[in-house]
Structure 1
Amino acid sequence: MNDTVPKIRIRGLTKAFGSKKVLDGIDLDVEAGTSFVIIGGSGSGKSVLLRCILGLIVPDAGSIEIDGEDILRASPARQEALVQRIGMLFQNAALFDSMSVADNIAFGLRAKRRKEGDHRAPRLSRAAARSQAGDILKQVGLDPSVGALAPSELSGGMQKRVGLARAIAGTPEILFFDEPTTGLDPIMGAVIDGLIVDCVKRLGSTAIAITHDMASAQRIGDRAAMLYHGKLVWQGLASELMHSGDPMVDQFTHGRREGPISMELRR
């Protein structure tokens, strides 16, 4: 029996918007130092789950623990301190168009408070943050000179790399990836996945990724789960996604028109 406290533990998480229940009693453990991938169709609740952990959405019921501490029942200051331990790679990178690449990364560095939420600690100066940004760009395979460019001057793959650089700024204990390969060709998608795996291992971080890309899910994940109608209908090794033996997972991962999901959609 494993008595180790998971890095992230979720129990009975529920969230509804009006009459639509988006999360319906989610139970999930993510062990420290592992990468967990969540798959599921549009509207299945994947993004809502991440936003609940980030504190952007307040769930209706349940608990979300980080290192055994329930963030939903912590004080506002403590909630902020816990969330500060999370880095996020947003879908489409979500870079600030008005800032240079270096300033985008520096923003993440300067916004980061010291561990344990010490609000008295001075923030990093802009000059120091920009200097560090060059080193972080190297970690995602970009020359520091890219820091002088605007996001609009970058290709989609380069924007993803910069988004990853901003996410790992401040060496977060937890990393979230929202559809990290969306809009990329298969080769660049594999490159980004490789960078993600390298960064997670180098930092010793715990990661959660949501994706529709089955190749990406298997490259990034140690374990995986499928969300359907707000419930986790399957959990297992990411390497088993394509041959899980579960009818819903098999239909989704192989993109089959016929199966339990399509039959429900026709009703």
Structure 2
Amino acid sequence: MTQPKLRIRGLKKAFGDKRVLDGIDLDLMPGTGTVVIGGSGTGKSVLIKCILGLVTPDTGIIEIDGEDVLKAPRHRARQLRAQIGMLFQNGALFDSLPVWENVAFGLLAGKKIRRAAARDKAAEVLAQVGLDASVGALSPAELSGGMQKRVALARAIAAEPAIMFFDEPTTGLDPIMGAVIDELIVDCVKRLGSTSLSITHDMASAQRIADRAAMLYEGRVSWSGPAADLLTTADPVVDQFTHGRAQGPIKMALRR
């Protein structure tokens, strides 16, 4: 049997009295795309932060290539997580740096490349997301929202990561540009042979960029299956969420 590229078991995380993750089980198989859906506050971002090491879970297992990063020595955990590339929700570009330095930031910060070579690499990767090398000299503020998203994608793939995370990749984009970004994501992931994990509320995007889907509800994966089944499954929680129905098992939490 093929070993999952990323395997999560029994992952729990609470903040005070609020338990956000209550036993997440999830497998990402090599070379496949998985999308995680769920309402606001259901733990999607916390899940990614736990995998990235930005948040320490209370208990559970997070394995990359069969090694539990939570039990690995610090240097080994860093090596394992170095396989991950991240496209942040709002791009998270550095306004003080030109586009080419944003794209090559991880390579430069890790001292994996000299500045002249980094500029050439940035131009190469920008071309892969449909941007001319001349864009590298611009500042992020000079770019449209769609171009900023492309630059953020270029930065995420610059180090040719084995695992890719996409956090709301089409947020703030019109439907056409959203479809363009999705196409670029699929192309880049396929070309690199990467395994991807995406978070999105956009069901059209979810079906374009993922093979599998998982629904987070009450701190757990309540449903998983082919992404193509998101709009047709009989699961009442998934059905309510994907069709935006006010009535159903999902209730709006009341603040007290």
- The TM-score with structure 2 as length reference comes to 0.97
Letter aligned with residue 58 of structure 1: T
How far is 1:265 from its partner? 4.3
Once the two structures are TM-superposed, the CA of residue 230 in structure 1 deviates from its matched residue by: 1.2
Structure 2 unaligned regions, length at least 5: none
1:116 aligned residue: none
Aligned to 1:90: 88
Aligned pairs (5 A) from 1:81-230: 81-112=79-110, 123-230=112-219
- Kindly indicate which of the two structures has a greater share of residues assigned to helix: 1
Please state how far the C-alpha of 1:131 moved relative to its aligned partner. Answer: 1.3
Identity %, equivalent residues: 69
Alpha-carbon distance in 2 for matches of 1:189, 1:229: 29
Which whole-Å CA distance do the structure 1 matches of 2:29 and 2:44 have between them?
19
* Of 71, 74, 83, the match for 1:76: 74
Partners of 1:163 and 1:72 lie apart in 2 by 28
Alignment partner, residue 56 of structure 1: 54
Q: Which residue of 1 aligns with 2:29?
A: 31
Distance, in Å, in 2 between the alignment partners of 1:124 and 1:266 is: 51
The aligned residue for residue 231 of structure 1 is 220
Match of 2:2 in 1: 4
1:226 offset after TM fit, Å? Answer: 0.6
Letter in 1 for 2:250: I
Q: CA deviation at 1:266?
A: 7.4
| C-alpha distance in structure 2 between counterparts of 1:170 and 1:123, whole Å | 10
Q: Matched residue of 1:87: which SS?
A: strand
Q: Deviations over 1:1-59 (max 9, x none)?
A: xx211000000000000010000001111100000000011100000000100011110
- Give secondary structure in 2 for the equivalent of 1:96: coil
Distance 1:148 1:5 in 2: 43
In 1, the alpha carbon distance for the partners of 2:94 and 2:155 equals 11
CA distance in 1, matches of 2:195, 2:109: 21
TM-score normalised by length of structure 1: 0.93
Between the aligned partners of 1:100 and 1:135, the Cα distance in structure 2 is 16
Residue type at the aligned position of 2:222: V
Number of aligned residue pairs: 255
Paired letter, 1:129: A
> Which residue in 2 is equivalent to 1:117?
none
Match for 1:23: what amino acid? L
How far off is 1:126 after superposition? 1.4
Give distance in 2, aligned partners of 1:265 and 1:68.
37
Q: CA RMSD in A?
A: 1.2
